[in-house]
């Protein structure tokens, strides 16, 4: 018949599948027939050699021929006649003859051995599989025959050979395809038989011992590898057994067999005797140690009944695995009973049996894996019996056993940790933490194995997280994560000893934990800065559970809250230990106890808080106060004594506090205990009084047995007698009391329990309590690969971790250890940055900087070479800068240490020249070449030579060239190859550091970090000193300032953040410098550069930036003089680039002040005037805000005698030309503004104009004729060309008084003063008087309407009179003599024509008329007749006679009238 065949994809002509299969089957049948035939021949051949069999065969007496030989011969006859396929032939037909030989006790070892070999060969031929006919019976036949194998022992070697063959066949049975047909019972029998051989091998050869143990391992692997497949098969099995329900009785899907609990909770497995035990024949004469009767397959685990017989005959599955596992655990228990039986000395128990059993158990767990949790009976064996033994063997002095125990626990953690929460806690607390520290008496080997195991656990990515979430964050559990992390960091510390393998091992564990955290960062969901936990009010929290332990959104906040509570409780415990009352008050204040104390919350505090002083707790609980009694009862009710022995319960109860010494207190405590115990475990006790009396009795027995002062000890009979009739008037069972008596004698009840947080030993009573607790504890939280709790965990372990890695790094001598430490440092940095733990990152940077050796001001002759030879220093340096570049956002105070390293590299000339430059500068320089002289050594020159400092060659190659003696004349020895190599290494290290990136990339730094970097630079620069500082200090200060300016320019968008610090630093430099130097140069030009670069971008800061330039005005005179030209060029560049961005009065005042100063500086004035020219010739830049300031600056340039007079003239032209701006503004105001705004601007424009003409007035007094005369013409232009500006009359009065009259008077004074410096004053006076006449005539109509016109006119007349009479250099000037009367005449004619000067009344006393002629006649008496030829001269003369001598008083009036004019102007202005 055809079988399914995989299509190979090649189409070809093939035989019919059925034909081909038939051919294959035929060949196979022939092969099998020949093989079996040869096996029969082999057995017969060996039998013939034996006298017993050979003799009968030779005699030919067929009747006497043995049945064994007959059956073999019969098989031989039939074998070639079978025509059917082999799987249709019952295997019993060809196996039975061999099995008969094996069973026969008449055959000797050689014959049995050959028969076993034949069966082995047939099993390995793959003839028999699950589809073969009657395969189940055949397999069982084989197992029964082999396990009942009997033979005569002739010599030891042949016996061992047979035993090996038995092992071989049994293993072949389990490995064959048909093994699935074996029943549970048969599998148990196979394992039992193998174990017997293992046991027998103890007295045999090494080879048999090894083979038997190996076979046992293979069997266990074979059986337990089947467990994952059983899960699906189980359902089928159970469904298939429904018809047998009446036989099985109460079987459910998961073999929940009825279990009978032993009295008082412990007791050993009972045997049911249903299953037959299998043993070797009498010849074997050996048996299983200590538990032979309880052979595998007869009983169902520690606390259960044996499996139902029907299940034991089912195809093998969980039942046999439970039996085998239970048997393996019982092998560990054997150790407890050493010497208790006559045959207990047959195996060396020191290491051998436990190691063997543990190895088998480990294999079973490895292969059973997570499937175990699906089978409660297997799981409960692991949770209780196995783990209890592991705890015991974990403290073994044998490193081999400890190592195996740790391997098993690691496997259990991997597969079953969700079911083993408290067991794992106990293992770490009672085994690993005790053994890994020498103070608990562990040997070095034990410490090393424990540490190796711990490191293995740490390499499991989620181990530490799960320990933290499940144990550290559980109020009732110990802080395993914290203890383990502390242990690792302490163990990595070499204290007064060289670095050892143990230190490196602990370091590996630490770094594994840290790197696990670092890896989780990339997986997202880094705790989005969970806020701190706060308790607003008390809510009962002791027994609260999370809603969903599998959803991080639920369990993460839940465990964080629990951890917070746990921490506060620890603080509360500390307070309580110092003063119980204050401790409870503190807990109430932190909402961990209710405002009004209730007994239950206090009881829970006593019961579950670690670290309480147990003496104080005992005193509180024993107190007679009503509240304390209530607390005591609530305290007792927190215990679970269900199904627990009385002595165990009492031990647990008294472990939690110290039993007070007073009898009344003891009574109260024991009453509470007895009530609770009786309620939960009445068992054979009649009432709670019986429990109380018995408890008292146990306490007394305990004191009697374990107090050294009691000489006569109580006997068992005494104890039983003392406890008569206490059980409700009846006696308690004798065996019950006996058990209690021996328990107390053997194991003292400690009434003074250990204090504090030590690592307790696991006692039987504690284990029972742990098993009780494990049923109620919160589910185990499985963590995924996300960083939910890493922030909290890292905060706990970061300090010790950094310290430990640093110490190892310090003490290490091998590069692989260095690299491990560096990996750790980088992981710490990554986590710190990710979780925003700035303090941790700063600590790390501080630690690392110490290792760079750059901070040591060492006396090494050639520090560069020393650095090149020091691998540790180079690695540390690269790491520091890697951290600075990667995680700079989160560095704070650490910048100071990093800068110290950078400064040291700078001093050694090792920094690349580009460190303080930035790309923006380069592009700007290319676009905007500097006008005039280059600014030497200022920030504009990008690749500053001073980066290497003037005293050193710049950059690393400079150092190198020094080394090569290229820049020195004196001959030196050539550098060695080692020195060259060291230099090369130094060069490569500095390149890897990317120091420049810290500053060029500073624009990406977070604000706080950037601010700290700037502060660090200011700090590193040091405070500038008045007087001489050392060249080295100045060099450092210059370098730091360059860097500070570079980062300021890079961060123009965040200048507000940096500005205050930068400004204050530069101000300190400027104000403390009295001589020109590189530092003040950098400060001043840096400041100008910052303003240039930032003004376009920061309008809101423009005033601040420009105000800062006032620092330049505060420079010491010598410093200012040295740099004036360059400063002016920079200011010019600033103005040209940013004039549109300077809008405020304050800003312009600063700029114009700087420009004004340059007016008198020979080198700087040209550039300064250039900037002023730029501002005043561009209408867009001359503004109401800067008008007065610019006019003032222009005046200073016009007055300045530096440079040619031509520039002063240009300055005057600028001033005169600015009137056009005033006119334009006035016109625009009328066009665009409202009436009120326009009036305000007009007033402002008037004041600006007045300032302009006042400025020109001052220049009119210049010594230089050309400048003076030009100033007068400019003034005339400004006074006459203002038609478009609507100036108020009052302003003109001010103008005459303050400007025109004052100027005329001053010029007159100069002319009369015979000053040699003033040339050709006559010409100036003529221009001045003409200006007076022209302005007066132009404004005559407006002025004539003023009430004070008379005084003004008299002022004009009096000036003309003075000018007419003036003597320049002692003689009158002809030109003036001609000009003044002419001007006066023109004026009078104009006044006449406009009707201003007319004789109004003969009687009215017209003062204007009379005063006019009074003055005019003093100047030119003929003028009146010329102007008014018709007037009566006599009348005039008469009038003049009466009013004679009034000129002086008029003059004084006109002068005093200034005040009233001012008042008018103020009035009109207001």
> Among 407, 1009, 573, 479, which residue's Cα sits nearest to residue 797?
479
CA–CA gap between residue 1417 and residue 1423 (Å, rounded) = 7
Instruction: Tell me which of 19, 293, 662, 1459 is the catalytic residue.
Output: 662
Among all chains, which residue has been given the structure tokens 């018709």? 1430
- Identify whether 160 is a catalytic site residue: no
Letter string b/e over residues 474-489, b meaning 16 or more CB atoms within 10 A of that residue's CB? bbbbbbbbbbbbbbbb
Q: Are strands 1367-1368 and 1371-1372 parallel, antiparallel or unpaired?
A: antiparallel
How far the first Cα of the chain sits from its last, in Å, is 126
SS3 annotation, 1437-1452: HHHHHHCCCCHHHHHH
CA–CA gap between residue 189 and residue 278 (Å, rounded) = 7
Among all chains, which residue has been given the structure tokens 């204040």? 589
CA–CA gap between residue 737 and residue 731 (Å, rounded) = 10
Evaluate whether 781 touches 462 at the Cβ level (below 8 Å). Answer: no
**Per-residue DSSP letter, 929:** P
> In residues, how long is the chain?
1470
Among all chains, which residue has been given the structure tokens 């008045």? 1026
Provide the token pair at 1317.
């410096």
Beta-bridged to residue 1368, according to DSSP, are: 1371
Measured at the CA of 795, the angle between CA 790 and CA 797, to 5 degrees, comes to: 95
Q: What are phi and psi of 697, to 5 degrees?
A: -60, -40
CA–CA gap between residue 931 and residue 1129 (Å, rounded) = 7
The rounded radius of gyration (Å) of the Cα atoms in the chain is 56
Provide the token pair at 713.
């000890």
Burial classification of residue 958, based on how many CB atoms lie within 10 Å of its CB (0-12 exposed, 13-18 middle, 19 or more buried): middle
Provide the token pair at 927.
């676009």
DSSP labels for 667-712? Answer: HHHHHHHHHHHHHH--TT--SHHHHHHHHHHHHHHHHHHH-TT--S
Provide the token pair at 1451.
């003059």
CA–CA gap between residue 586 and residue 905 (Å, rounded) = 54
Provide the token pair at 997.
């990136």
Burial classification of residue 1417, based on how many CB atoms lie within 10 Å of its CB (0-12 exposed, 13-18 middle, 19 or more buried): middle
Cβ count within 10 A of residue 709? 5
Beta-bridged to residue 730, according to DSSP, are: 727
What is the sign of the dihedral through the CA atoms of 77, 78, 81 and 86?
negative
CA–CA gap between residue 341 and residue 746 (Å, rounded) = 20
Which run of H or of E encompasses 982? Answer: helix 977-993
CA–CA gap between residue 1271 and residue 1248 (Å, rounded) = 18
SS3 annotation, 729-760: CECCCHHHHHHHHHHHHHCCCCCCCCCCCCCC
Evaluate whether 1144 touches 1185 at the Cβ level (below 8 Å). Answer: yes
Measured at the CA of 922, the angle between CA 918 and CA 926, to 5 degrees, comes to: 170
CA–CA gap between residue 279 and residue 291 (Å, rounded) = 13
Cβ count within 10 A of residue 1195? 26
Give the SS3 label for residue 666: helix
Catalytic residues, by residue number, are 662
């Amino acid at each position: 018949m055809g079988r399914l065949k995989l299509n190979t994809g090649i189409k070809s002509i093939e035989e019919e599948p059925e034909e081909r299969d038939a051919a294959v089957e035929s060949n196979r049948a022939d092969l099998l027939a020949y093989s079996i035939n040869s096996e029969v021949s082999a057995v017969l051949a060996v039998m013939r050699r034996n006298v017993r069999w050979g003799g009968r065969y030779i005699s030919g007496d067929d009747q006497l021929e043995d049945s064994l030989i007959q059956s073999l011969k019969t098989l031989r006859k039939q074998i070639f006649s079978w025509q059917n396929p082999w799987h249709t032939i019952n295997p019993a037909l060809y196996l039975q003859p061999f099995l008969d030989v094996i069973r026969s006790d008449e055959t000797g070892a050689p014959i049995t051995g050959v028969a076993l070999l034949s069966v082995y060969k047939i099993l390995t031929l793959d003839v028999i599989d699950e589809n073969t006919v009657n395969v189940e019976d055949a397999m069982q036949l084989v197992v029964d025959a082999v396990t009942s194998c009997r033979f005569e022992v002739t010599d030891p070697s042949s016996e061992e050979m047979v035993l090996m063959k038995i092992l071989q066949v049994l293993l072949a049975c389990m490995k064959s395809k048909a093994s699935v047909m074996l029943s549970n019972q048969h599998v148990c029998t196979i394992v039992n038989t193998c174990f017997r051989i293992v046991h027998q091998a103890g007295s045999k050869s090494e080879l048999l011992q090894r083979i038997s143990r190996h076979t046992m391992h293979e069997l266990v692997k074979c059986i337990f590898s089947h467990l994952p497949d059983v899960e699906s098969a189980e359902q089928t099995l159970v469904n298939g057994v429904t018809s047998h329900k009446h036989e099985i009785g109460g079987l459910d899907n998961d073999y929940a067999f009825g279990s009978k609990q032993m009295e008082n909770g412990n007791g050993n497995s009972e045997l049911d005797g249903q299953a037959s035990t299998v043993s070797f024949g009498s010849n074997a004469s050996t048996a299983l140690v200590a538990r032979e009767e309880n052979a595998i397959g007869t009983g169902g685990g520690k606390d259960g009944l044996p499996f139902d017989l029907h299940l034991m005959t089912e195809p093998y599955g969980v039942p046999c695995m439970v039996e085998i596992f239970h048997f393996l655990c019982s092998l560990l228990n054997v150790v407890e009973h050493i010497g208790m039986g006559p045959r207990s000395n047959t195996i060396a128990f020191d290491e051998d049996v436990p190691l063997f059993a543990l190895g088998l158990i480990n294999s079973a767990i490895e292969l059973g894996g997570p499937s175990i949790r699906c089978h409660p009976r297997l799981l409960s064996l692991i949770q209780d019996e196995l783990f209890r033994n592991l705890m015991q063997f974990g403290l073994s002095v044998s490193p081999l056993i400890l190592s195996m125990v740790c391997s098993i626990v690691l496997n259990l953690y991997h597969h079953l940790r969700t079911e083993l929460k408290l067991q794992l806690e106990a293992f770490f607390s009672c085994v690993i933490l005790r053994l890994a520290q020498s103070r608990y008496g562990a040997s070095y080997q034990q410490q090393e194995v424990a540490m190796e195991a711990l490191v293995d656990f740490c390499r499991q990515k989620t181990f530490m997280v799960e320990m933290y979430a499940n144990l550290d964050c559980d109020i009732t559990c110990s802080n395993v994560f914290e203890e383990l992390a502390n242990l690792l960091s302490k163990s990595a510390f070499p204290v007064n000893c060289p670095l050892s393998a143990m230190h490196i091992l602990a370091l590996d564990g630490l770094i594994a934990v840290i790197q696990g955290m670092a890896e989780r960062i990339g997986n997202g969901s880094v705790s989005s800065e969970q806020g701190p936990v706060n308790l607003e009010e008390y809510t009962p929290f002791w027994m609260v559970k999370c809603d969903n332990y599998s959803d991080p959104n639920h369990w993460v906040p839940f465990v964080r809250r629990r951890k917070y509570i746990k921490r506060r409780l620890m603080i509360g415990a500390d307070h309580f230990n110092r003063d119980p009352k204050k401790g409870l008050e503190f807990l109430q204040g932190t909402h961990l106890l209710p405002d009004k104390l209730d007994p239950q919350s206090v009881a829970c505090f006593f019961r579950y808080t670690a670290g309480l002083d147990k003496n104080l707790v005992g005193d509180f609980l024993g107190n007679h106060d009503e509240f304390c009694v209530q607390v005591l009862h609530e305290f007792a009710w927190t215990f679970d004594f269900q199904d627990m022995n009385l002595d165990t319960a009492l031990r647990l109860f008294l472990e939690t506090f110290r039993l007070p010494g007073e009898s009344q207190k003891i009574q109260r405590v024991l009453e509470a205990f007895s009530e609770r115990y009786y309620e939960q475990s009445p068992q054979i006790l009649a009432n709670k009084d019986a429990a109380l009396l018995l408890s008292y009795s146990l306490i007394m027995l305990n004191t009697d047995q374990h107090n050294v002062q009691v000489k006569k000890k109580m006997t068992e009979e005494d104890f039983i007698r003392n406890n008569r009739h206490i059980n409700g008037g009846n006696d308690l069972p004798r065996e019950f009391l006996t058990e209690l008596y021996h328990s107390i004698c053997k194991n003292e009840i400690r009434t003074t329990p250990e204090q504090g947080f030590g690592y307790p030993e696991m006692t039987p009573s504690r284990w029972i309590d742990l098993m009780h607790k494990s049923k109620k504890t919160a589910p185990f939280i499985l963590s995924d690969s996300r960083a939910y709790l890493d922030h909290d965990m890292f905060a706990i372990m970061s300090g010790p971790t950094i310290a430990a890695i640093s110490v190892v790094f310090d003490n290490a001598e091998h590069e692989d250890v260095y690299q491990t430490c560096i990996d750790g440092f980088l992981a710490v940095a990554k986590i710190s940055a990710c979780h925003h733990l700035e303090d941790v990152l700063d600590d790390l940077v501080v630690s690392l900087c110490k290792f760079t050796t750059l901070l040591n001001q060492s006396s090494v002759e050639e520090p560069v070479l020393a650095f090149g030879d020091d691998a540790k220093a180079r690695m540390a340096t690269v790491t520091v800068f890697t951290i600075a570049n990667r995680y700079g956002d989160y560095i704070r105070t650490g910048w100071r240490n990093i800068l110290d390293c950078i400064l040291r590299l700078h001093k050694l000339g090792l920094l690349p020249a580009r460190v303080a430059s930035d790309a923006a500068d380069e592009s700007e320089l290319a676009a905007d070449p500097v006008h005039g002289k280059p600014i030497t050594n200022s920030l504009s020159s990008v690749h500053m030579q001073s980066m290497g400092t003037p005293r050193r060659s710049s950059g690393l190659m400079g150092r190198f060239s020094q080394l090569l003696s290229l820049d020195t004349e004196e001959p030196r020895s050539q550098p060695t190859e080692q020195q060259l190599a060291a230099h090369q290494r130094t060069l490569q290290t500095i390149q890897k550091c990317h120091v420049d990136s810290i500053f060029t990339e500073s624009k990406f730094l977070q604000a706080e970090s950037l601010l700290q970097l700037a502060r660090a630079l200011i700090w590193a620069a040091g405070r500038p000193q008045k007087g001489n500082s050392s060249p080295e200090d100045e060099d450092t200060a210059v370098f730091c300032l360059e860097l500070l300016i570079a980062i300021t320019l890079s961060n123009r968008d965040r200048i507000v953040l940096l500005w205050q610090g930068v400004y204050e630093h530069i101000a300190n430099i400027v104000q403390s410098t009295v001589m020109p130097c590189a530092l003040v140069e950098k400060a001043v030009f840096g400041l100008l550069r910052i303003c240039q670069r930032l003004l376009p971008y920061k309008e809101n800061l423009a005033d601040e930036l420009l105000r800062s330039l006032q620092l330049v005005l505060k420079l010491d005179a010598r410093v200012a003089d040295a740099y004036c030209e360059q400063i002016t060029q920079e200011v010019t560049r600033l103005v040209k680039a940013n004039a549109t961005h300077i809008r405020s009065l304050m800003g312009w005042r600063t700029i114009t002040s700087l420009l004004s100063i340059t007016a008198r500086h020979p080198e700087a004035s040209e550039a300064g005037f250039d900037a002023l020219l730029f501002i005043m010739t561009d209408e867009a830049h001359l503004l109401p805000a800067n008008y007065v300031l610019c006019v003032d600056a222009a005046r200073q340039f016009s007055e300045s005698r530096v440079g040619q007079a031509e520039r002063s003239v240009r300055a005057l032209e600028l001033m005169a030309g600015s009137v056009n701006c005033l006119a334009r503004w006035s016109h625009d105001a009328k066009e665009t503004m409202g009436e009120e705004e326009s009036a305000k601007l007009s007033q402002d424009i008037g004041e600006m104009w007045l300032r302009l003409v006042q400025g020109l007035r001052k220049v009119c007094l210049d010594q230089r004729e050309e400048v003076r005369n030009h100033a007068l013409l400019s003034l005339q232009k400004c006074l006459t060309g203002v038609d478009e500006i609507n100036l108020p009359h009052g302003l003109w009065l001010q103008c005459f008084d303050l400007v025109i009259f004052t100027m005329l008077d001053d010029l007159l004074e100069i002319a009369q003063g015979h000053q040699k410096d003033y040339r050709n004053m006559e010409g100036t006076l003529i221009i001045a008087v003409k200006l007076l006449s022209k302005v007066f005539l132009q404004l005559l109509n407006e002025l004539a309407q003023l009430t004070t016109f008379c005084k003004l006119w008299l002022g004009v007349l009096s000036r003309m009179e003075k000018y007419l009479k003036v003597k320049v250099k002692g003689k009158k000037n002809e030109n003036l003599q001609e000009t003044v009367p002419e001007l006066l005449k023109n004026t009078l004619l104009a006044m006449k024509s406009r009707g201003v000067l007319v004789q109004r009344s003969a009687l009215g006393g017209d003062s204007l008329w009379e005063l006019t002629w009074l003055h005019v006649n003093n100047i030119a008496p003929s003028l009146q007749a010329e102007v008014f030829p018709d007037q009566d001269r006599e009348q005039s003369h008469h009038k003049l006679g009466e009013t004679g001598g009034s000129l002086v008083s008029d003059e004084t009036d006109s002068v005093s009238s200034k005040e009233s004019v001012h008042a008018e102007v103020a009035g009109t202005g207001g």
